[in-house]
Amino acid sequence: MCGRYSITTAPEALRRLFAVSDMINLEPRYNMAPMQTAPVIRTRDGERHMDRLRWGLVPAWAPDESRAASLINGRSETVAEKPAFRDAYAKRRCLVPADGFYEWQKRGSGKQPYRVSLEGNRPFAFAGLWERWQKGVEPVETFTLLTTEADPRIAHIHHRMPVILASPDEFSVWLDGESAARSALLRPYAEADLIFAPVSKRVGNVRNDDPALMEALDETEDARDEAPLPPKQGSLF
């Protein structure tokens, strides 16, 4: 499961990396949380556009928005089959820019958060899906992140990880490629530049959103700065 992530890369660097034709104003986010709006990249009229969508998928056929909090993630192994995701997987894929994500490792009766990123805080994208729900007063656009088995290097932290796309070629395949090529991207990130480190438990509180959340703690340091754990959200679908 992925329930928190960061996106702090400068907008111009994101525009170049993702070849976006138009950008939105972005401020650094160190603790992006479910049900908040976040930047996503979609193909429209043959060009890539960056838009703000709410994190937590609401399928177009859903009678209401109540399932959004439970559909922040989708299992890549079954995404082509499950009713909540299959239509979006076929027709509405997106890139979700990020430069790190957080997972919680069970330790005794508590949990220790870790930040997982690429060396140099290099930006990348999560493989995402988006939907437009139009049964309310106004249309609501939402997205979800796809997950896969964790790479062995971080499986001791959590057994799942988001699908990471790190190159322009992968971006193009995910947005516009053939089905077989897209499916091949739904795997653990296995490149050598994957890094991880324990971080402050302050990240468990959505009200905390500052650069200190990204700072690595010494592995021998006891992170005693208590804060609420993130709510149990995700998807088993």
Percent of the chain whose pLDDT exceeds 90: 81
Q: Looking at 47, 77, 94, 103, which residue is catalytic? A: 103
The model carries a pTM of 0.91
103 a catalytic residue? yes
How many CA within 13 A on the CB side of residue 103?
20
Asked if residue 234 has pLDDT above 60, the reply is no
What stretches of the chain show up as alpha helix (H) in DSSP? 11-18, 86-91, 168-176, 179-184
Q: Would residue 2 show up in a list of annotated catalytic residues for this protein?
A: yes
Within 10 A of 61 (CB to CB), how many other CB atoms are there?
11
Q: 4-214: what CATH class?
A: alpha beta
Neighbours of 25 (CB within 10 A): 7
Reported as a single tens digit per residue, the pLDDT across 8-18 is: 999 999 999 99
The CA-based angle 140-166-128, given to 5 degrees, is 20
- Between CA 37 and CA 107 the distance in angstroms is 31
Q: Which amino acid is it at 5?
A: Y
At residue 230, the pLDDT reads 55
- Shortest CA distance to 51 belongs to which of 63, 37, 32, 65? 37
pLDDT digits (tens, 9 = 90+) for 197-221: 999 999 999 999 999 999 999 865 5
Phi, psi of 207 (to 5 degrees): -70, -20
